[in-house]
Amino acid sequence: MKKLVKVLSLAMSLLLLGCVLSACSSAPAATATLTFGTNAEFPPFEFVTANGTIGEFDGIDIAIAKQVAEDNNMTPVIENMEFDSLLVALQNGQIDAAIAGMTITDERLESVDFSNPYYTATQVMIVKDDSDITCAADMADKKICVIQGYTGEICVNDMGYPYESFKKGTEAVMELVNGKCDVVVLDSATAIKYVNDNEGLKIVEDPSAFESEEYAIAVAKGNTELLNKINTVLEKMINDGTISELGAKYSEMG
């Protein structure tokens, strides 16, 4: 009788174990996350809003990030940080990729890898309507504002002009609106957005002084697997016109 009880107990234990294993194997696998770092101060590419594409974040880059993650069966997560912190965050593993209207430069390529470019832009000058600035050379005796770490700061520094840098584009533009500076040097698409949002401002272009630049997504050096996944999605979005549509959509948003 005791032997029969032991056999039955062993059978029940095996049955319960089988049920547990079966439940575990049938449970849906946890969805992996793909964490993008950005600097949400760069409309129309990334900005904070009430109901964004990913949480409270929206813009061209955020829509691209969402598509990249979802096409690879991953959940997109946004980490908002200062622009100058993005590459460091990539290197220490805090984020998987950086998407922030980031220009491919030789200096950045020393520490990170870039995807194929998805947007071409240039630097422009935002001035007041009555400004006498008509080209980059006219900034020589003016008070210039730039955004810290952005290409505009690099360009103005290379020209040898003194300038004041701000962490947020809105802060630099408000300096101009309030008459505390004469010009803000900024990426073209974002400059258009600020001019549309603030009366009395205009854009001055100088192609001879500012070369075109290409935006791309940065990943940690050597992360070829993720880079290939990103490039596959970008290629599709470029070829089917999605990125062009996103540019038109977000540039028109007031």
Domain identity same for 140 and 102: no
DSSP 123: E
Into how many domains does the chain fold? 2
Q: Is 73 left (phi over 0), alpha (psi -120 to 50) or beta?
A: left
Residues 89 and 39 placed together within one structural domain of the fold? yes
92 and 128 both lie in a single domain: no
Q: Which domain holds residue 197?
A: 123-204
Does 28 fall in a domain?
Answer: no
The answer as to whether 209 is a domain residue is no
Residue 241 domain flag: yes
Q: Whole-angstrom Cα distance, residue 124 to residue 207?
A: 9
Q: Are residues 77 and 192 in the same domain?
A: no
Q: In what order do the strands lie in the sheet with 144-147?
A: 164-166, 144-147, 183-187, 123-128, 201-204
**Do 168 and 137 belong to one domain?**
yes
What angle in degrees, to the nearest 10, is found between the helix axes of 60-71 and 224-239? 120
Kindly give, in sequence order, each residue whose CB lies less than 8 Å from that of residue 47, ignoring residues fewer than 6 positions away: 40, 41, 57, 58, 59
Please state, in angstroms and rounded to a whole number, the distance separating the CA atoms of residues 61 and 86: 15
Peptide bond into 44 cis (omega under 30): yes
Same-domain pairing of 141 and 176: yes
Is 54 part of a structural domain of the chain? yes
List the pLDDT tens digit at each of the 254 positions of the chain.
444 444 445 444 544 445 444 444 444 445 799 999 999 999 999 999 999 999 999 999 999 999 999 999 999 999 999 999 999 999 999 999 999 999 999 999 999 999 999 999 999 999 999 999 999 999 999 999 999 999 999 999 999 999 999 999 999 999 999 999 999 999 998 999 899 999 999 999 999 999 899 999 999 999 999 999 999 999 999 999 999 999 989 987 75
Instruction: With respect to residue 7, please indicate whether it lies within any of the assigned structural domains.
Output: no
Beta bridge partners of 171: none
